[in-house]
Amino acid sequence: MENFTHSTVVDLIKKIEVDILNIDKCEAISLDTDLVDTGIMDSLTMVELVSKLEDEYKIEIDVDDITPDSFRTINSIYDMCVRSRCK
């Protein structure tokens, strides 16, 4: 498993966001930027991000965790990964 720290997960999330959305503004996203309200995160992006996170960290994200609130910020995405890892 890849090194699972806050920093590595945050870096991966930012990289995935840039790859999925093909925009550079993701590099300027703070850990607490509201990704849902800003329109950066939509349902398709959530599904793509879940797939990439599960592949990278060998975790299984519970379907009940796939909600807008779990994807609202980079920190909330990290928290969801930690919950999934602990199961």
The verdict on residue 23 lying in a domain is yes
CATH number at residue 44: 1.10.1200.10
* Domain extent for 68: 6-86
Q: What helix, strand, coil percent values describe the chain, rounded to 5?
A: 65, 0, 35
Q: What is the reported pLDDT for 32?
A: 87
**Distances in whole angstroms, Cα of residue 23 to Cα of each of 19, 49, 63:** 8, 15, 28
The verdict on residue 1 lying in a domain is no
- What total number of domains does the chain contain? 1
The verdict on residue 69 lying in a domain is yes
Task: Encode pLDDT of 25-77 as tens digits.
Answer: 555 678 888 989 988 888 888 998 899 899 988 999 999 999 999 999 989 99
DSSP state of 43: H
The model's pTM is: 0.82
The verdict on residue 35 lying in a domain is yes
Q: What is the reported pLDDT for 25?
A: 52
The verdict on residue 58 lying in a domain is yes
Cβ neighbours for 73, distance < 8 A, ≥ 6 positions apart: 31, 32, 33, 34, 35
